[in-house]
Amino acid sequence: MPVTTRIVMLVDMESFYAGVEKARRPDVREQPLAVAGDPSIPSSAVLAACPIAKRHGIRTGERLSSALAKCPQLIAVRPRMGEYIEISAQIAGILEAYTDLVEPYSIDEMFADFTGSLHLYGGSEEELARLIQARIAVETGVRARFGIGANKVRAKLACDLVAKKTESGIFHLHRQEDWEYRIWPEPIRRMWGVGSRMERNLHALRILTIGELARMPLGKLQARWGVNGEVLWRVANGIDDSPVSPWAAREQKEVGTTITLPRPYAQRIEIEAVLLDLCTEIGRRVRRMRMMGDILTVGAGGEGGYRKSTGFHRRTRLDDPSDITAELYEVSRRIFHEGWDGSPVKRISLSLSGLCAAEVYQPSLFENRERNRAIDRAMDEIKDRFGETAIVRGSSFTDAGRARDRAEKIGGHYK
């Protein structure tokens, strides 16, 4: 019996946040627009730029002041994360009308497997992509791009490296010859999974393109980077056996958050107030999931980001899995002060991993864990009924505390 070639699509929303804003405001459709963290703060980061703004050289991640210098007529708007999440879910629902195998990859990217359903629509892969693309545009006002391939890696790179450059926004990598012709000549930095550090490491081996990585002996890459070396080689060769799974997004292995502070914090008491707010947030999230974790990671960075001279990233394993805010706070405070060199801090991150079900845990004879757990549950119930700011810790009312400000945001941005 012949093996059926899979039909996988990576659906990417063009300039998603900016696209949603333009759909909401037709009067600015022909003007350059960017979504910025806070348009009133020149140092705020650009979160998304529309295609018109990008033609002025504006890029995601740059400072708003730099973007305005390039394009003084730029319209900068504040993000509305709640609406972006709703529209992302709406787009997922559109895809699910054509296949039950839809896997969110990010808020603006989704994998979909049409292997078992394409025949229902009586056309080619490209025709189905055009149909869905038109429906997304009509129902949401957002333009979608489609990369089509035999697996998730090929679909992702078909979208990132080819479809985004085409007028139609759709590209199908049919054959191995297409892969070698279209993908292999691209610079190694454009390959999925290669960051700036790995790019430098690969350049040191005189690997400058994806094709040069694909032709590198696998054993040499494994000897240098182990499993990661094999992953790089497989991506470069378009090899990927992983399924498109609608459950993938729910199999969460870590709960984390990062906060950029309104100013550099240099005082111990200020930083500890932020750590307590973050531990309160993380603890509430894992309790809502009915999970606990036993690996806590704390990171910090100065104005320049996570540089060796101004930042650190440390983790430790807890004695027992925990979802208790007080326990997470005590450990995070210890980790932080072990790594902190006293330099002003502009960014703090916290994550809890090693997650397991909260129903089974080891009680302690020497610590009153149940009392602390009862306090957390009581605070959770009050917040569930009356809102996130109905009850907050005293340190959150100080100038350093961030809990009340974060309650107005999703993912660090305004709802």
- Tell me which residues are annotated as active site: 109
d(CA 343, CA 268): 11
> Within a 10 A sphere around the Cβ of 350, how many other Cβ atoms?
26
DSSP string, 35-81: EES-TT-TTPBEEEE-HHHHTTT--TTSBHHHHHHH-TT-EEE---H
**29 to 80, 369, 398: CA distances (angstroms):** 18, 56, 42
Q: Which two tokens stand for residue 204?
A: 């040191």
Could you tell me the sign of the dihedral formed by the alpha carbons of 314, 317, 323, 325, in that order? negative
Q: Which long-range contacts (CB under 8 A, 24 or more apart) does 99-104 make?
A: 100/246, 101/243, 101/244, 101/245, 101/246, 102/244, 102/246, 103/244, 103/245, 103/246, 103/248, 103/249, 104/248, 104/249
Buried b (16+ CB within 10 A) or exposed e, 56-94: eebeeeeebeebbeebeebbbbbbbbeebeebbeebbeb
DSSP string, 103-166: EEEETTEEEEE-TTTGGGGTS-HHHHHHHHHHHHHHHHS--EEEEEESSHHHHHHHHHHTGGGS
User: Which amino acid is located at 219 in the chain?
Assistant: G
> Within a 10 A sphere around the Cβ of 5, how many other Cβ atoms?
11
d(CA 305, CA 400): 20
Is residue 329 left, alpha or beta, with left meaning phi > 0 and alpha meaning psi from -120 to 50? alpha
d(CA 109, CA 103): 9
